Amino acid sequence: MHTSTKWLLGILIAVIIIAAGFFGWLILNSTIKTPQPIVQTAISTPSPEIFLSTPISVSPTPIASSNSKIYANQTYGFSMTFPTGWEGYKMKEMDIPGEIATYYVNLPTKFPASPEGDSTADKGYFSPFVISVYTLDQWNATQKDEGPKDTLIIKNSKYAFAWTHAQWVPEDFKNDKDINSIITSFKLN
């Protein structure tokens, strides 16, 4: 064999070894990781279950009190209880492609909007979390997509209800811990 053929054969073998190592690494690191709920709590409706992606700290006092406010959505038949400290909240419905309905919970704030601007909230308000309503087909399709996903709260025979936490909250928002309590109060009517 000629010297140039030996060099070419050596380079070819090295390229094959490097390519095999790279593809082996890709296969080992591309396993699909399905997020598992940290908390799974059944609620008192027949068959649906509630799923949260963040741990819940159990409070000795129930969320419902004389100062609590219950939001009831007649269109999709659900309700949530907002505790004291969430006075002045309002729901802002927006159309988002791929979802039937999206409800942004808006709370008053004295701070200006997020640096990027918050199109989900009216002036003087911010949105700490959002409730999304999907058909079951839409929900199943979103679960196949790459990237961040809403967290499933509950499903019934027609819809999947999910939530997402805000990426930004103003400095005066001190009720972040209440969001899990509100989500766990979510009921189908």
Give CA–CA dist 174/34, Å, rounded.
Answer: 32
Name the residue among 88, 50, 67, 68 with its Cα closest to residue 186.
Answer: 50
Say if residue 43 is in the same domain as residue 105: yes
* Structure-block tokens of residue 107: 């709370």
Q: Are 96 and 18 within one domain? A: no
Tokens representing residue 14 in the block: 């090295």
Element (H, E) at 71: strand 69-73
Q: Are residues 27 and 44 in the same domain?
A: no
15 & 44 share domain: no
pLDDT tens, the chain, 189 aa long: 677 777 777 787 877 887 666 665 555 555 444 443 433 333 333 334 444 444 333 333 334 455 678 999 999 999 999 988 888 888 888 877 777 888 888 888 877 655 555 567 777 788 889 999 999 999 999 899 888 889 999 999 999 999 988 877 777 777 778 888 999 999 998
> Based on the domain organization, do 18 and 104 belong to the same domain?
no
- pLDDT value of residue 34: 40
As a whole number of angstroms, the distance between CA 121 and CA 159 comes to 25
Q: Are residues 80 and 107 in the same domain?
A: yes
Do 8 and 48 fall into the same domain?
Answer: no
Segment 66-77, tens digit of pLDDT: 567 899 999 999
Domain that holds residue 18: 1-31
* Whole-prediction pTM: 0.61
Residues 45 and 105 in one domain: yes
What does the buried/exposed string (b/e) look like for 103-130 if buried means 16 or more CB atoms within 10 Å of the residue's CB? bbbbbebeeebbeeebebbeeebbbbbb
- Shared domain check, 130 and 107: yes
Rounded CA gap, 183 and 50, in Å? 9
pLDDT at site 77: 94
**How confident is the model over 88-125, as pLDDT tens digits?**
888 888 877 777 888 888 888 877 655 555 567 777 78
Contact 39, 181 (CB under 8 A): no
Asked whether residue 181 falls in the same domain as residue 132, the answer is yes
Please state, in angstroms and rounded to a whole number, the distance separating the CA atoms of residues 130 and 163.
5
Q: Which two tokens stand for residue 84?
A: 């004291």
d(CA 179, CA 83): 10
What is the domain count for the chain?
2
User: Maximum Cα–Cα distance for the chain, whole Å?
Assistant: 92
Closest CA to 119 of 92, 100, 145, 146: 92
Does residue 105 share a domain with residue 159? yes
The phi and psi torsions of 152 (rounded to 5 degrees) equal: -65, 130
60 and 4 co-located in one domain: no
